[in-house]
Amino acid sequence: MKDAQKAARHVAYELGMFRETFGRLPAAGPLPVLVLEAFLVHTRNLIEFFWDGAPSGAILPKDFGAPAARDKDPAFEDLRHSISQLVSHLTWDRVDHELRPQDWSYSRLQRIHDAINTKAQRFFTAVPRDRHVWFSAEFFPKEFEHWTR
């Protein structure tokens, strides 16, 4: 049996990790690959949640009372694919095109952050208010407060 309240903790974790890793990316100078990679992994997970491309059995916005329809955006589909090939999976594409921090400018990461931020805010607007408290995780208590301001 699906437990949406329990699943919300996992969504809160992804949102918290996305938010915190973005906050640790320097606006100038070289990007630390450790933080960049963590940011990209959580970005990919949130793209699957908010846009499209989620595997079978994935937790989706509709599980919390948000609309079932999710946007299809080719740019985010391509981004999800790129992140999957560079970071999340051991692929031959990864061998030929390794993750290079210089390919990820801060302004590009900021645009990605802003798009996901907008999606998260819309998500929380669509989710019944009494369910917002479900979006808390051990390391990110009251994570929902960061997205409902």
**pLDDT at position 129:** 95
Between residues 87 and 134, which one has the greater pLDDT? 134
Q: What's the total number of domains in the chain? A: 1
Q: How far is CA 61 from CA 24, 97, 98, 120, in A?
A: 27, 33, 32, 10
Which structural domain, as residue segments, surrounds residue 62? 4-146
Per-residue pLDDT tens digits for 90-148: 777 778 777 788 888 999 999 999 999 999 999 999 999 999 999 999 999 999 999 99
**pLDDT at position 82:** 87
DSSP 3-state assignment of 146? Answer: helix
Residue 56 has pLDDT above 70, yes or no: yes
Q: Give the angle subtended at the CA of 124 by the CAs of 14 and 38, to the nearest 5°.
A: 15
d(CA 137, CA 144): 10
**pLDDT at position 1:** 66
Question: In the predicted model, what is the mean pLDDT of the chain?
Answer: 92
CB 87 within 8 Å of CB 26: no
pTM of the model as a whole: 0.92
Res. 24 pLDDT band, cuts 50 70 90: very high
Amino acid at site 67: P
Structure tokens at 94: 């990864």
% the chain with pLDDT above 90: 69
How many C-beta neighbours within 10 Å does residue 64 have?
21
